[in-house]
Amino acid sequence: MDITTPQLLYHGTTSDTVQSFGQKLLNSPYWKPGKDFGEGFYTTISIAQARKWSHKAAKESWNGSKPCVLVVELASVPEKVEPLLFLSDSPAWASFIYAHRRANVKGEDPCTIHPDIIIGPMADNDTGKIVHKAVQLYKDEQWFYEQITVSRKGRKMDSLRLGNQVVFCSERWESHVKLVGYHIYTGSRWTYHESEGTGEVKLV
């Protein structure tokens, strides 16, 4: 199956991780379980969405790091890639998220064979709470689907409002992606810095 992806992707993180990402972008030991599409390196085609991720990460940081958005270039695609594509929210999409949100042990995955790359809508920000409630109340996947696609005002949200994510779930993509720069939030504005041609990142 051929796959064409955006050339530039964005990853929300904190400023203290830039040096490490400059050495290696896809580092599976650091990938956490219990996320929408399982363990992986999460990116988006929306810089605005990545900025939201970075602010959330900075608030959860214990060392006062600043919000940071990595700019990642996808230069090529590995051979024989079998991507999983969710073009919009659907019961199958919700089922996949529900299974992976409940997988809290690193290395344990509900998929028999996890896809190398997954592209699809995000679940909303309250998904963790909804999963916890679903498990406690023995709710099924249909209930979960309805909960994560409805706004707090009770209105059905479309996929565009949910946001998108492109998740690399295998380190075999490492030689195909490149850190070209990063944005750091200084408290009043975002400043952009280019990464050096050697792959190293010069911190400001």
Residues 56-94 have pLDDT tens digits of 999 998 888 999 999 999 988 888 888 899 988 889 998
Residue 179's identity, in one-letter code, is L
> What is the rounded distance in angstroms from the CA atom of residue 94 to the CA atom of residue 89?
7
pLDDT at 152 over 50: yes
Give the start-end residues of each E strand in 101-156. 117-121
> What is the rounded distance in angstroms from the CA atom of residue 58 to the CA atom of residue 51?
10
Give me the pLDDT at residue 56, please.
92
pLDDT at 186 over 70: yes
The answer to whether residue 200 is domain-embedded is: no
Whole-structure pTM value: 0.86
Residues whose CB falls within 8 Å of the CB of residue 29, separated by 6 or more in sequence, listed in order: none
What's the structural domain count of the chain? 1
Give the confidence band of 198 by pLDDT, cuts at 50, 70, 90.
very low
The answer to whether residue 17 is domain-embedded is: yes
The answer to whether residue 2 is domain-embedded is: no
Give me the pLDDT at residue 190, please.
96
Give me the pLDDT at residue 158, please.
61
* Parent domain of 128: 8-194
The answer to whether residue 55 is domain-embedded is: yes
Task: Please state whether beta strands 117-121 and 84-85 pair in parallel, antiparallel, or not at all (unpaired).
Answer: parallel
Report yes or no: 67 and 94 within 8 Å, Cβ to Cβ. no
**Which of the pair, 3 or 179, is modelled with greater confidence?**
179
The answer to whether residue 199 is domain-embedded is: no
The answer to whether residue 202 is domain-embedded is: no
> What is the rounded distance in angstroms from the CA atom of residue 144 to the CA atom of residue 154?
14
The answer to whether residue 201 is domain-embedded is: no
> What is the rounded distance in angstroms from the CA atom of residue 38 to the CA atom of residue 110?
9
| Mean of pLDDT values over 24-40 | 95
Distance of CA 54 to the CA centre of its chain: 11
Where residue 14 sits, what CATH number does that domain have?
Answer: 3.90.228
